[in-house]
Every structure is written in C-alpha cells, then in structure tokens.
Chain A
Amino acid sequence: MAKYMLIMRASDEAVAAYQDMPFEQVIEAMGRYNEEMMKAGVLLAGEGLTDASDGFVVDFSAEPPLVTDGPYGETKELFNGFWILEVASKEEAAEWAKRCPLGPGSKLEVRRVTEIEDFPQDNEWIQKEAGWREEQAQRAAKA
C-alpha cells in the first residue's frame, strides 16, 4: 500500500463554471465522491481551500522573497484542495482520481506521499525533523 495525494487544481474556466452551478449540486457530487472513498476504506484525509483572494504568494525569484496577495493573475492553475488516499497501487490512485466529479478546466495532480523509507535514515536533518514532528505530536496529545 502507498499513500497518494490528489491535488485539485482549477483554472479560471473551471472557477467560472462552478459559479454557475448550484452550490447544493456541487456539494452533493463531492460528498458522494468522498463518501465512496470513505466506504472503500481508502480515504485518510482531505481538505478544501478557501477562495484564492484569501491567499498570497511568496516568490523566491526576488531577494528577499517577494510577498504578493492573491488573486494570482499570472497563475492559471490554482491549488484548491487535496485528498490523501491509501491504496494498493498507482493505478488504483488513478482510478479514484478519475471518479472525481470535476469538469473541464479542472485538473487533479496525483503525487505519492513520501514515506519514512524514502529518506536516508542516518541523515542528521531527517532525524531532527522526525524529532520535531514527534514533539508536535506530544504537545497535541497533551493538549
């Protein structure tokens, strides 16, 4: 089994199309999709993102990096949300992705989530990061 992230990206075209669709219909289609993945036991996590005007971009082509508010005029594809699935194969991840109720102008990017085995375990910084993650979790556990 491996974890895959389905990353939802919408173009201006898709955003415009969604604005014309009744909200209930969009919510229901997505709800059914989420429910199906939950019932298949493959859905681990997922979140949607708010409107791009709430967001901003940090651009590293400047020094120091340049912070610009959304909407991102020059960016055609917005990252709008994600799902994390645990599935047996890349093909299974693709099969679930294809079932997502999205229309023209939308894309799903599918990426495998790294596992601990993907990194050299003796690397000092990998170990430090693992320690940091654990610390966060301890704090959350005690909260």
Chain B
Amino acid sequence: MSDDVTDGAAARPADPESARRAVAAVWRIESARIVATLTRTVGDFALAEDLAQDALAEALAQWPASGIPSNPGAWLTAVAKRRAIDGWRRRERYDDRLAAIAHDLEREQAEATDAAGGLPYDPDAIDDDVLRLVFVSCHPVLSREARVALTLRVVGGLTTEEIARAFLTPVATVQQRIVRAKKTLGAAGVPFEVPPRSEFPERLGTVLGVLYLIFNEGHSASAGPDLMRPELSREALRLARVLAALVPREPEVHGLVALMELTAARFPARVDAAGDPVLLADQDRRRWDRSAITRGRAALARADALGRGRGAYALQAAIAEQHDVAASVDDTDWASIVALYEALGRAAPSPVVELNRAVAVSMADGPEAGLALVDELAADGRLARYHPLHGVRAELLERVGRADDARAAFAEAARLTANERERAVLLARASRPGGR
C-alpha cells in the first residue's frame, strides 16, 4: 500500500493531508455511533453533536503530529466525553451524570490499554441508538432542508463542507441550518427514542422520504450546471442500506434500497461524454451496472419475502426492474409496467405517477392512447409548471406527427426547467424542424 494510507497501529507522525483524509475516513465510519453513544451518556442530542464535532476538530489538530491512534473511534469518544466533563466542571455542575461519565471514561481507558483495544460502545446496544439518531435527524418538527442536512451530517458522517458542496449551498447556510435544527429539536423537547408503535409507520415513512429526497437530488439535480451528482445518490443508497440493516423487518426499507440500486444501475449510461442527458431509449444498456441490478433485485425479493405486499417504493423498484432486465425499449414488458403504475397510483396517488403511466400506455398501446391521458392531465392543471409533463407531451405529439405542437411543447418544457443541461437539450429539440 502506498505511503499516503498511514498504518494506524504505529503512532508515527503523518503529513497533514494524509492525516486529514484518515480522520475523514474514521469519521464516516464512526460518527453515527459516537454521536449516538454520547447522546445516551449526556442525555442531549445537540450537546452530543457539538462534543463529537469538537473531538473531530481535536483529531484534526493532533493526529498530524501524534499519528493516528490504534483505535480512533475510542479516541474520539473519549475526547468528547472529556470535553463534556470539562464543560460541566466549568459550570460547577457536579452531578450523578458527571460521576457516571467519568467512571465510563476510566473503564474505557483501562480497557484501551489492552492490545485488542475494545470498542467504545456496546455493539448490541448501538443499533438502537443509531436508529434513534436516524429518527431524531428526520423528525417532522424540522424543515425538509434541515432533515436532509442533519441526516447527512449526523448519520452519514459528512462534513458541513461536503453537504454544502453536494447541494451547491454556501457553507454558512448549511451551518446555520444545522444550528437551527438542533435548537428546534431542543425547543420541541424531541426525545431520543424510536417512535412508539402507533407512530412508527408514519415516522419511518418520513425517514425513507428524506433518504429518497437525497437520492433524487443526486439523480436529477434540481439546479446547477451538472445533470447528476451521483456521489450524493450513492451516499443516500449507503444510508438506505444502513437503515435496512437496522430495521430488516420493514418491507419498504428494502423496497427503497431496491429502487435506488435499480435506478443507480443506469447512471453510467445516463449522460453522454459531453455531460448531456441520454434518454432511456437511447442509453447504451451495455453500460448499466449489472451487479447493482442483481443487488436491487435481491432487495426487492427481500421486501416481497416479508409477505406484507408492495408499498410505493417496492412498486417503483419493480418498474425499474422491468426496464433494467429488458434488452431494449421494444423488448420491455410495457404491459407489466402499466399494471405496476396502476398499482402505484392506488398505493400513492399523484399526478406524476399518472404521467408516467401515460408514458407506459403510449409504449404498450401506441402514442395516441398515451397522448389522450397526457392531455387529460395537462387540462387539470396540477402539473402545469412541471416541465416533464410538457417534455412527454412534446415527445408524443412528435410521434403522432404534430410537429408544430411538439416544438411549442418542447419550448414550454425548456422554459420551466432549472437544469441548464436539460434546458439546452429541450431548446435544441424545440428549434429542430420536423422534430428529431
């Protein structure tokens, strides 16, 4: 292995950059467990998060000179706990909690002298703590933006800078969101717990929604110069896998993992060399990630195996599966896809689902049948500002030979999209005489 990956067992000095990268790697792996453990110990999520961030800062300051400790997770936890004690001492609040945490720390330090260097937490209890952390980060009292930022930072271990870069947001804005989110949680007295049984399905739905939101932001960036930020989608997929491991008996978690895997499988073919979007029909299917498809299908099978029917995510995954296993657009089982969209329309009614069903119908039964459904949708006005509606309508108008109407619809779609690359492609189609 090359020199920039430093051997952790030897406490030898590392250069600042490699130490920084090593700290980042440890942080990604350990941060959720550290914050979860600390929240349990200090009884306050916001304080725990601050303490963990302080420990991270201290690691960044110390490790370049001292070398990376052999058990970096234990080191970070111990530093954070020491900070907690210092804080209480300063405020002269010697109470039971201080005694308990000091005792913990002593025991852990004694254990850390063992060659094995035990974990700074009980691996059996930690799953519950991390799950609690997921529910705190995705709590409904928070705005969507705050839930996303907090989940990526606290559960995903991303730094504020990484989150800012992923969402093309200033670092100060993300920082502010996190600070405000923690205050909101504190003010609302949000407990560090898994929601009661009666609320569980709804709250889990919120969590899945946050992960899917993150995935989609990477999959189809709502703004900015790049069509996709696949790193963000892959992070969402990783977090969905984390959640699936925490609540393996929940079919929709596996459904979401399946949907993300089966969608991400097509990423390598979704943009061309110039960074422009490539439509499903034009994608080079040989570039699809076969192992992702296999993993996605396995996740869908796990959801089905739980025997509680398919929810909205599993149904969408099943649709993605139909595309992923087809050799071409013509070879695709469009009738099955229409049926799946009908089921999805019942499970999670939405005009966007109707639009997608119309596309599937146009493939199964011809463009006229699809166009009739799209015109109906356009007439009811709910999707008037949704640019894909106009894009789909334009495509179908073109296929039935109404070139002028198609060009107008492409222009309308271009006007409504905020994605620059997408707009360029739509404008090109709008100005092409005779369509494609």
Task: Give residues in A with beta carbon < 8 Å to B.
Answer: 1, 32, 36, 38-42, 44-45, 86-92, 94-96, 98, 110, 115-117, 121, 127, 130-131, 133-134, 136-138, 140-142
Contacts and interface: CB of A to CB of B under 8 A. Distances in A.
Given A1-B234, A130-B286, A92 B325 contact: no
Contacts of B21: 89, 91
Nearest to B325: A141
A137 B292 CA distance: 11
**Chain B interface main SS type:** helix
Interface residues of B, number: 41
Contacts of B4: 90
A45 B291 contact: yes
A86 B242 CA distance: 13
Contacts of B284: 130
A91 B286 contact: no
Contacts of B231: 1
Given A96-B29, A127-B286, A138-B327, A39 B246 contact: yes
A60 B309 CA distance: 54
Contacts of A117: 268
B241 to A, nearest CB: 3
Contacts of A39: 127, 242, 245-246
A86 B292 CA distance: 11
A18 to B, nearest CB: 18
B268 A116 contact: yes
A40 B291 contact: no
Nearest to A35: B245
25 contacts: A1-B235, A39-B127, A39-B242, A41-B238, A41-B242, A41-B245, A44-B291, A44-B295, A45-B291, A87-B28, A88-B24, A90-B5, A91-B18, A91-B21, A91-B22, A91-B24, A92-B24, A95-B26, A116-B287, A130-B287, A133-B286, A133-B290, A134-B285, A137-B293, A141-B325
Interface in B232-280: 234-235, 237-242, 245-246, 268, 273
Q: Sort A-B residue pairs by CB-CB distance and give the 10 closest, nearest first.
A: A41-B241, A130-B286, A91-B25, A41-B238, A141-B325, A92-B25, A1-B234, A94-B5, A39-B245, A41-B242
A41 B256 CA distance: 14
B8 interface: yes
A106 to B, nearest CB: 14
Interface of B: 1, 4-5, 8-9, 18, 21-22, 24-26, 28-29, 123, 127, 230-231, 234-235, 237-242, 245-246, 268, 273, 284-288, 290-291, 293-295, 325, 327
Contact of B29 (A44, A95, A116, A136): A95
Contact of A86 (B25, B29, B234, B239): B234
A32 B118 CA distance: 13
Contacts of A36: 123
Given A89-B25, A91-B21, A110-B1, 4 more contacts: A36-B123, A40-B242, A95-B8, A136-B290
The interface residues of chain A, by DSSP majority, are classed as helix
Most chain A CB neighbours (cut-off 10 Å) among B8, B9, B25: B25
Contacts of B285: 134
B5 A91 contact: yes
A117 B24 CA distance: 25
Contacts of A140: 294
A98 B9 CA distance: 9
Contacts of A92: 24-25, 28-29
B25 A94 contact: yes
A46 to B, nearest CB: 12
Contacts of A89: 21, 24-25
Contacts of A96: 29
Nearest to B9: A98
**Most chain B beta-carbon neighbours within 10 Å: one of A41, A92, A121, A131:** A41
A36 B4 CA distance: 25
B182 to A, nearest CB: 24
A120 to B, nearest CB: 11
A141 B8 CA distance: 44
A88 B287 contact: no
B15 to A, nearest CB: 13
A140 B321 CA distance: 13
A95 B22 contact: yes
B29 A40 contact: yes
A97 to B, nearest CB: 9
A138 B286 CA distance: 11
Q: Which of A88, A92, A110, A116 has the most CB of B within 10 A?
A: A88
A41 B240 contact: yes
Contact of B237 (A38, A40, A41, A127): A41
Nearest to A126: B286
Contacts of B26: 95
Contacts of B241: 38, 41
A88 B286 contact: no
A85 B5 CA distance: 17
Contacts of B24: 88-89, 91-92
Nearest to B235: A1
Nearest to A89: B25
